[in-house]
Amino acid sequence: MQILMSNNRNAEHECEEVTMKTLEVVKKALTDIEKGAINASTYTEEMVFSGPVPQPMKRDEYVTLLKNLVGASPDWNFHARDFTELGDTVKVTVGITGTQTRTLPGVIPGMQALPPTNKRFSLPEEHLSIKVRGEKISEIVADTVPGGGVMGMLTQLGVQLKKAA
């Protein structure tokens, strides 16, 4: 996102480009997700999400997952705090909550769509490391914590998860 700002008090002709800072990019992305405004254009084409998932997810897989999760829980909230900007990376602590008031499509292999349960979930605190390149998110690495991530949410919603053999 580019914002034009004037150096001239009259703001008539002279403008300079000001680009979003890394921290602003991350905060905007998290706020947009909470609003349900999830767009692939927020992320680089090569973006990778890794952490509490069986294997790293590419951008389109990640965006689809977010749309499904937030679409089923419109009150999704990251409760993001403790932002730290380190060059092109932002570290942030999240504690995701929400209520599944709409159908949740199967988000893991073998899972059937889950009709609205009206159950509230509250995930344990997780730490994210989010890298930004060219005003887009290029990488997200999330902690893997017991009871966290999608699997933790599904457990709280009452989905019976099969144990690996």
- Output the domain CATH number for residue 107: 3.10.450.50
Q: What is the mean pLDDT of the chain?
A: 88
User: Does the residue 3 lie in any domain?
Assistant: no
User: Does the residue 28 lie in any domain?
Assistant: yes
Which of the two residues, 160 and 89, has the higher pLDDT score?
Answer: 89
User: Does the residue 151 lie in any domain?
Assistant: yes
Could you report the per-residue pLDDT of 17-49, keeping only the tens digit for each? Answer: 445 799 999 999 999 999 999 999 999 999 999
Is the predicted pLDDT of residue 4 greater than 90, yes or no? Answer: no
- Phi (first) and psi of residue 89, to 5 degrees: -125, 140
User: Does the residue 164 lie in any domain?
Assistant: no
Per-residue pLDDT, 53: 84
Could you report the per-residue pLDDT of 81-123, keeping only the tens digit for each? Answer: 999 999 999 999 999 999 999 999 998 888 899 999 999 999 9
Alpha-helical (H) ranges within 36-85 are: 59-72
From residue 60, give the alpha-carbon distance in Å to each of 37, 72, 84, 159: 15, 18, 27, 25
User: Does the residue 40 lie in any domain?
Assistant: yes
Give the predicted TM-score (pTM) of the model: 0.84
* Of the candidates 62, 44, 40, 43, the residue with the CA atom closest to the CA atom of residue 53: 62
Q: Name the residue range of residue 71's domain.
A: 18-156
* Of the candidates 22, 23, 34, 40, the residue with the CA atom closest to the CA atom of residue 96: 34
Number of domains in the chain: 1
Cβ neighbours, 10 Å, residue 84: 11
